Structure 1
């Protein structure tokens, strides 16, 4: 960034596992806002390094998979099938099956048949751009392989730890002891200290999300909705928007316009407080 440029307002968004990544991006950016102490070569005291021109203002996490993804409805199924396949045929994986299936589809199944099959599975009301995007995905064996390989890794990486070291400071801290138990929650006063202090955080959960465990979602909400700079919503949300009541995990498939609307409203809402 230019040294003399005015602080740039930065808005970070993430969807699904992208929200998990966005947490880490936001923490890194928020740390950049703080003066860094740089050791001088001389014996004099260390001097603080000037803050870079970064103004992290807003973090939006949409249908986020932040903890315990393996305990979600789809996560449990993915783990079960992955384990079953690997135990039955050593060396075989779901990623390999996806790669082979995609190669077969791309070489043997006409595009017109693919379109009919996708429309039948997803519904006749599905928009054409969704169908076309799905066809492109199905005909890329490398991407199909990567998706399943990454999905398996996510089951391990996105675990029950609320604040691992790489996002330390993202969630507001509480004074007193804390526990990771879903049934035993600390009710001590909140502390607003941390690198994310002052950054507005909006988190939206679908009412029925097959990649988010209801228990994990409830635990996050109970732990972290006490902050003035944070808003967590489920389904219709605080604005009671009926159009969001039935939004699924992949909201962009059928509700992209509605979600663009609520996202802009949330940015404006936080800009005014």
Structure 2
């Protein structure tokens, strides 16, 4: 099975860019695991900016299973376990097909629920003995991580009530189908722009405009595709039920893996998907002063403008924060 066939099987989209400047002595692959909604559109500008600072990085971003806007198969829900397995299978296929003689150095970035997926997917990669000679995991970045008690966050409390008391998934998926039948994509894009669903950048430079364009296309793919609406909301519902204490995997990730691999954890100053108490508990439990060179927790500042949804309109600013973090931990 080719990687294209594998992506089709999981109804996912793969964004891949070769390195700008190939380093003959190393083979570095930066992999991003999205949050929910898991579309690659929102992260392309962010990844491009990082690659400009690290031109030796090859880029790979994998959308969530079930989030291919061009899929016309009957709806099938892909849960958190499917998201983990699909990323593992695609990455394994990618590195095993490696045309270079040297193994891949893997650098991971993940966002929101992508961090929960990333932790478990990295463990699968490390436990797979057939990959020992093919990969070396160097770095794992968790951005606004929903890796514990997501239902206790401000938005988690609200959305749980919404799921419990209204048929919101059915209503919105039907609405999406109706809108698609009645309105053209151009008209829907006009609505997204007119009502500032995706905010236009204050300064219209090329990079900001590109980020805005990618984000509006991502929003269009969500609004106009009922199977993506249903996938995104059903996955969110599952997140509220399944992402709880997670002590075993977090202990392994920060204590075991963190003793061997560089780890960066970024919390936005005010995050409606991460409860402040949850954030403080994670830092208290896993910040190790003796191992601070390997594991770094970073808290955003109130005036930096970085929110949980940074990838929509703050790619330029957060790419700068990310590249600085990678340099510090390298």
TM-score by length of 1: 0.72
SS of 2:319's equivalent in the other structure is helix
Change (3 A) 1:51 1:147: closer
CA RMSD of aligned residues (A): 2.7
Offset at residue 73 of structure 1 (A): 1.1
135, 139, 153: which one pairs with 1:72?
153
Q: Which residue does the alignment assign to 1:90?
A: none
Output the CA distance in 2 between the equivalents of 1:71 and 1:213: 6
**Structure 1 residues 223 and 16: alpha-carbon distance in aligned structure 2, compared to 1, 3 A threshold:** same
Query: Aligned-pair distance for 1:217?
Result: 0.7
Whether the aligned pair in 1 keeps the contact of 2:126 and 2:132 (CA below 8 Å) is no
Q: Give the superposition deviation at 1:9.
A: 1.1
Distance 2:257 2:322 in 1: 24
What is the alpha-carbon distance in structure 2 between the residues aligned to residue 136 and residue 58 of structure 1?
Answer: 31
1:146 to 231, 234, 246: 231
- The residue correspondences of 1:1-273 to structure 2 (distance < 5 A) are 1=96, 5-32=101-128, 51-85=132-166, 93-111=167-185, 113-119=187-193, 120-122=195-197, 125=200, 127-164=212-249, 169-172=252-255, 194-226=256-288, 227-228=291-292, 229-236=294-301, 245-271=304-330
For residues 227-253 of structure 1, give each alpha carbon's deviation from its aligned partner in whole angstroms, at most 9, with x where no partner exists. Answer: 32111111149xxxx5xx221111111
Q: What is the Cα deviation at residue 196 of structure 1?
A: 4.4
Give the Cα separation in 1 of the matches to 2:131 and 2:112: 35
Say if 1:197 and 1:97 are closer, same or farther in 2 by CA, change over 3 A. Answer: same
Distance across 1 between alignment mates of 2:228 and 2:244: 24
Check conservation: 2:258, 2:295, Cα contact below 8 A.
no
Q: Distance in 2 between matches of 1:12 and 1:94?
A: 34
Partner of 1:146, secondary structure, is helix
Report if aligned partners of 2:198, 2:216 keep a CA contact under 8 Å in 1: no
> How much does 1:211 deviate?
1.0
CA distance in 1, matches of 2:163, 2:141: 32
Q: Would you say the 8 A contact 2:198–2:215 is kept in 1?
A: no
Change (3 A) 1:110 1:73: same
Q: 1:123 and 1:55, CA in 2 relative to 1: closer, same or farther beyond 3 A?
A: closer
Instruction: Provide closer, same or farther for how the CA distance between residues 110 and 267 of structure 1 changes in structure 2, counting only shifts above 3 A.
Output: same
Q: Output the TM-score relative to the length of structure 2.
A: 0.60
What do the CA deviations read for 1:199-237 (whole angstroms, capped 9, x no partner)?
000011111111111110111111111132111111149
Quote the Cα distance in structure 1 between the aligned partners of 2:306 and 2:257.
32
Structure 1: stretches of 5+ with no match in the other structure? 37-48, 86-92, 173-193
* C-alpha distance in 2 between matches for 1:123 and 1:169: 38
Indicate how the Cα distance of structure 1 residues 136 and 51 shifts in structure 2: closer, same or farther if over 3 A, else same.
closer
Query: CA offsets, 1:48-87, max 9 Å, x none?
Result: x9943421110011111111111111111111011112xx
The answer to which structure has the higher helix fraction is 2
- Contact kept, 8 Å, 2:176 with 2:223, in 1: the verdict is yes
Distance 1:94 1:163 in 2: 33
Q: Which runs of 5+ in 2 are unaligned?
A: 1-95, 202-211
Structure 1 runs of 4+ aligned residues shifted over 4 Å read: 110-113
